[in-house]
Chains A and B, each alone.
Chain A
């Protein structure tokens, strides 16, 4: 065990990227991701690593350069937030459909408008159907470790999909916490050498990337993408086991916190899950059987794990840090509800949209949700399915 050093979430990502030392990084700075690019640039400028850093003129160019580099046969990374992610949208889909294992740390920030630089999940939730794997991290330590883990997931032969490693803008990206860093060599050994089939730069075996693909084969390529996502459900546990053997941390699709004997539970992603744990501890001390379920991986959607974890829960509140504007609740809520439909598990489910545009979420807010859940259990039904937590009514 090495000593912990003080790092922000962004610095932790930049350090992971330094240890990974990708062949190519093409990135454009945007708040609150800026510190990642800034710190990584200094590693390159100081000659500490030999990554080819391409300072592009926009995020559209950043992802385009990444697609080109990855197709050429280079291990490739970038990072972004919010409107930057929106600007690369077109190429985000192309990266996934071309099956290029690009790893992109995303610092979650509200998507304009109105313009706002603070945390919510509207940016990455918006591209949940883009074909990227999505990992949501609770703190700086986790985002550091998952950036490394993501390389192996993305590049696995049965997956070959790009991965977003998400953390909460400012809340973890700019907060200093103690982070334990791994040995450089251990990281290098764990990620191994980057090798993909049919790189563009293999001039002896010329290939074509990105040809027109119409009614005759487009569907089959999309079918393959769907299959790769399914494969991810079985392959990620193997890679995670290897990670645990090497570095000691056990990662599953979901994290359960005092859920085993819980009667009421909250489902939440990223840093909010930490605040929920804090409240669960307080409630447990009062004898209230509260628990937390934190999905770590949202794409692919770990349906079996989630429904199994909620099997004995009487009432569940699902917290969404983004609005899907379906008028039926947020994305985490609708996905989990759909998963429960044919699982035979039927807890009383409600949805809370919270924290949009960085609105802080306090233990008092979480306490209110658990109090609502206790009422739901007593009444035997959900009174209001769709709630707005922390919005002035």
Chain B
């Protein structure tokens, strides 16, 4: 993330953020040292992980947990800790 920062002439005045939702561009996925991985067979789609994830990084479709948003998942491990059937493992990140 060696992005060149803007000068005072290039940013909106007053500390305003005028581009809605631009936090999405912040790739917090790069912070991970452990990554969550799911054992498809064990998952019961209770969605506890979706509720507890502090970074909204659990992907859900049609009421089913379908995976992780690795762009934003920081690897905190809360999903793995909260999972009632222990279907999420925290694996060492390989970079």
Contacts and interface: CB of A to CB of B under 8 A. Distances in A.
Interface stretch (A46-54, A110-118, A202-210, A284-292): A202-210
A351 B11 CA distance: 42
A276 to B, nearest CB: 39
B12 interface: yes
Contact of A221 (B5, B14, B18, B20): B14
A97 B13 CA distance: 9
A224 B13 contact: yes
B18 A223 contact: no
A299 interface: no
Given A207-B20, A216-B5, A220-B6, A97 B14 contact: yes
A221 B16 CA distance: 10
A308 B7 CA distance: 34
Contact of A223 (B8, B12, B14): B8
Contacts of B94: none
A216 B26 CA distance: 15
Contact of A207 (B6, B7, B18): B18
B7 A208 contact: no
B11 A208 contact: no
A220 B18 contact: no
A218 B11 CA distance: 11
28 contacts: A97-B15, A98-B15, A98-B16, A99-B14, A100-B14, A160-B13, A198-B16, A205-B18, A205-B20, A206-B20, A207-B16, A207-B20, A208-B20, A209-B14, A209-B15, A209-B16, A211-B15, A211-B17, A213-B15, A216-B5, A217-B15, A220-B11, A221-B8, A221-B14, A221-B15, A224-B8, A224-B11, A224-B13
Interface of B: 5-8, 11-18, 20
Given A208-B16, A217-B15, 4 more contacts: A207-B18, A209-B15, A221-B13, A221-B15
